[in-house]
Amino acid sequence: MTASQSPLPSGSDFVSATRTSCSTLSSTLGLTPNTAGIDAFLRTLSAPTFERLKTQHGLTFPLRFPTPLAELNFLSLLSLLNAYSGYRVAFHTQTGSGAYQNIVRLMMGLYISGGEDKVVGSKALTSRGMVELTEAKIVELLGVSVHEEREHETLKGVTVGVRGGDMLDCVQMILSTLQGVGKTLLEQEHASLGSYIASLLTQVKTNNLGDADATSFLVKSIAETLPEFCDTHTLAPSGEEVYLFKRIFFLLHSLRLRFADHPEWGVQDTTETLPMFVDNVLPTLCVWFHLLSVPHTAPEGMETLFHWVRTQHVDGELTREKLEGMQKNVAGPKLSADETYAIRAATLNVGRVVVERAKELAKEEGREWLEGLNEVDLDGYLWAVAKDDELLRKVPRLVFASIHF
């Protein structure tokens, strides 16, 4: 499904619609929160470690921005491209780093090499620069190959390099995303993505919107204007729609962390309004920590997903002892689009339940600190601990084919 075909909620509150769609789909499929596993997870959480990791969203860069708008633009584009975790193994194979680290490197390369711009820092990161970007430039800055070796069709024993493979798919998705957004911005007379986002934040400030209303306004505006930001899906054959908007949620929280006190922009508090921003890392950890349960019989088309959830957790076949003997960067189950959105929806929903259980367990002596836990900080912790803990780095992450989120 292309971005322009992505379904959108019919109402005005896209955040509420996201929560409802994920909860409904989880219940329909039987991908439900495992209360016993959630309580065990919360009881073993280390407060100092949680506090250290909860805000490590990877938003510090060795760059000098000439204006606040330049940093806003950089963060907005980074959020737009924070979408290729499905190519983690391919990136590690070619560069030794994961998807997010490579996108950061690409963004920094575009910023530094794109020619000076007094407003956003680099001409390459303007709307015009995005439209004029080439595949060759992306390949150069990422330092990857978009060719793969194959045996010659007629010359036995001879291998040739031909265009193809996962990295070509990824590079072409990056290029089409940036060019598509750049074209829309030019049509609407915005010089950069940052200027468009700033115009929305100015409206929030002018209209004195509260946190919840501001969040709803921003998510709806961005999703309707820039389909490349959309992260939604229609399941077959039921026709049930599910919304996640991971990259928009990530962007709004990034703005809160960097621009909470900006005098001209209304930057809302996201810790009480947003659910988790679910990619492939969070579902992988939620499965491994045994935060989800499934019935024995899987719905049609969900067989691979349900087998994974049922068996590959700390209390099942993937014990800590087994992880210790595994290599890093082992690919997890290859899921269909329906399965991928189903587990992401269940993960977003389980984040809500984890917070609810945390408030109950906070009544126990010594666990009072859990009272303040929220979904955004839980997201930050899970994302960071997957990289901080050497054992958790080995947990095989789900794989999906060419889904842009």
Q: Is residue 405 part of a domain?
A: no
At residue 156 the predicted structure's pLDDT band, cuts being 50, 70 and 90, is confident
At residue 310 the predicted structure's pLDDT band, cuts being 50, 70 and 90, is very high
116: which strand partners?
A: 122
Q: Note the pLDDT of residue 399.
A: 84
At residue 4 the predicted structure's pLDDT band, cuts being 50, 70 and 90, is very low
Domains held by the chain: number: 1
pTM: 0.93
**pLDDT tens string 197-248:** 999 999 999 999 999 999 999 999 999 999 999 999 999 888 999 999 999 9
- Label the pairing between strands 397-400 and 331-335: parallel
Whether residue 402 has pLDDT greater than 90: no
- Mean pLDDT score across all residues of the chain: 93
Whether residue 62 has pLDDT greater than 70: yes
Whether residue 309 has pLDDT greater than 60: yes
State the residue range of the domain holding 28: 3-400
Q: Is residue 22 part of a domain?
A: yes
Q: What percent of the chain shows pLDDT beyond 90?
A: 81
Q: Tell me whether residue 48 is exposed, middle or buried, using C-beta atoms within 10 angstroms of its C-beta: 0 to 12, 13 to 18, 19 or more.
A: exposed
At residue 1 the predicted structure's pLDDT band, cuts being 50, 70 and 90, is very low
Q: Is residue 214 part of a domain?
A: yes
What is the spatial distance between Cα 377 and Cα 392, in angstroms, rounded to a whole number? 18
Q: Is residue 308 part of a domain?
A: yes
Q: Is residue 190 part of a domain?
A: yes
Q: Is residue 75 part of a domain?
A: yes
Q: Note the pLDDT of residue 285.
A: 97
- Interacting residues of 89 by C-beta distance below 8 A, sequence separation 6+: 329, 331, 399
